[in-house]
Amino acid sequence: MTIVSGRFYYGIKTGLNEAFVVNRETRDRLTAEHPSFAEVLKPFLRGRDVKRWRVEYQDLWLIFTRRGIEINNYPAIHNYLLQYKDQLMPGVEGGRKAGSYKWYEIQDNIAYWQEFDTPKILYQEIATYQVFAWDDSGAYPNNKTFLIPEASLYLLALLKPKLIWFFLSNTVSKLSGGAFALQTIYISKLSIAKSSNPEPIETLISYILQLHQQPLLAQDKRVLSYFEQIINGLVYELYLPQDLHIAECSIAAHLPTLAPIDSLESLRSLFEQLSQPDRPLKRNLMQGAADEWRLRSRLQQLQKLIF
C-alpha cells in the first residue's frame, strides 16, 4: 500500500467572481482586440460542474490576472475590469479582503497555478456522493474544489469505488444533510493499493470517460454501470485478494485483455460480451455483490491499514 501522496491544492478564489468570470461572448469580445489576450482567459470550473468521473464544462472563462501581471499589456481586459474597480479594491468594507495585491489582480496568490494545466483529479470541497472527476482540459477550478495534479486514471479508479467511499464515510467530518467535508487531511491519508498490472483498470476508466462524451441513453447507462461494477470488483480484489480467491470470486483472472476503443458501438459490443450470464466474470461479480456485506465487515477490520 502507498499513501495518496503528492500535492493537493485548493481552487481559485477571485474575491469577486462577477468581475473575473465571463461567458463565451465576453471572452471572444476581449480576445478580438488581440489574440494574445487569450493567454489570460482560462476555462473555468465551479464546484457544481464536478460530477461523477468527469466535469461538465459550462463554457465559462476566468480572467486570470495573477499577481505581478503587467495589466497594461492587456488594455481590453484592463478596461473591462475598470467597471468593477470600486468593488475590487483590497480591504474595502464588504468587498475583497485586505492585501498587497492590485485591484485588477485575483485575490489569492496562486503560486501553483501551472498545476492547473496538468491532467488532474478534481473533487468537491463538500460532497454528498462520490464526486472524484478527471480533467485534462487545462481548466481552472474555483475554491469550492480541491485538485490532485499530475494524477493518473489508476488513482481516479481507486478513489471512486464503493470501498474508498465506505472508509471516507466512516472517517471524514459530517455536515448537515449528510454531506461530507473532504479536507486534504483525510484524502492524503488514504492508502492506495499497488497493482502489478494497472492497465485493465485504466482502460476501463477510459471507457467510462468516453461514454460520458455524449448524453447517456438508457442502454449506455447499463454499459456504464457494468464497467463500474467491474472496477469495483477489481479494487476489492486489490485490497482483499485472499478473501475473493477463497470465495472463488476472482475478477481479474476472468477479465480478457482490454484494448483502447474509440467508438460507442464497440463499447456496447464489449459490454454484451462481458455481461453474458454464463461468463465466470459475470457470475463472480454477482457473487461479489451478494457477499459485499461480508467484505465490508472484513474491511472494517482493516480500516487502520487504510487510514
Q: pLDDT, tens digit, for every residue of 99-128?
A: 999 999 999 988 999 999 999 999 988 877
Per mean pLDDT, which of 165-179, 182-196, 278-292 is the most reliable? Answer: 182-196
pLDDT of 122? 95
Looking at residue 140, what is its pLDDT? 97
Q: Is 168's pLDDT higher than 80?
A: no
Instruction: Give the pLDDT mean for 126-133.
Output: 82
Distance CA 204, CA 231 (A): 7
- The reported pLDDT for the residue numbered 134 is 96
Least confident interval from 20-29, 44-53, 287-296? 287-296
pLDDT value, residue 237: 86
pLDDT the model gives residue 306: 47
| pLDDT interval class at 193 (50, 70, 90) | confident
Q: Mean per-residue pLDDT for 206-234?
A: 93
Task: Give the pLDDT band (50/70/90) at residue 186.
Answer: confident
Q: Provide the pLDDT for residue 160.
A: 76
The span from the CA of 62 to the CA of 20, in Å, is 6
- Residue of 109, 102, 108, 96 whose CA lies nearest to 18: 96
Query: 150 is written with which cell numbers?
Result: 499530475
DSSP state of 56: -
Percentage of residues of the chain with pLDDT beyond 90: 58
Q: How many other C-beta atoms can be found within 10 angstroms of the C-beta atom of residue 20?
A: 22
Q: Could you tell me which residues come within 8 angstroms of residue 295 by beta carbon, excluding any fewer than 6 positions away? A: 236, 240, 243, 288
Is pLDDT of 307 > 50? no
- Long-range contact set of residues 287-292: C-beta below 8 Å, sequence gap at least 24: 287/247, 287/248, 287/249, 288/233, 288/236, 288/244, 288/247, 288/249, 288/251, 289/229, 291/247, 291/249, 292/162
pLDDT recorded at residue 290: 46
- At residue 3 the predicted structure's pLDDT band, cuts being 50, 70 and 90, is very low
- Residue 141 corresponds to which amino acid? P
Asked whether the predicted pLDDT for residue 80 surpasses 90, the reply is: yes
Kindly tell me if the per-residue pLDDT of 291 is higher than 70.
no
Residue-level pLDDT at 294: 53
Mean pLDDT of the chain, nearest integer? 87
pLDDT in tens, 25-56: 999 999 998 888 889 999 999 999 999 899 99
Q: Which segment of 190-194, 202-206, 223-227 scores lowest on mean pLDDT?
A: 190-194
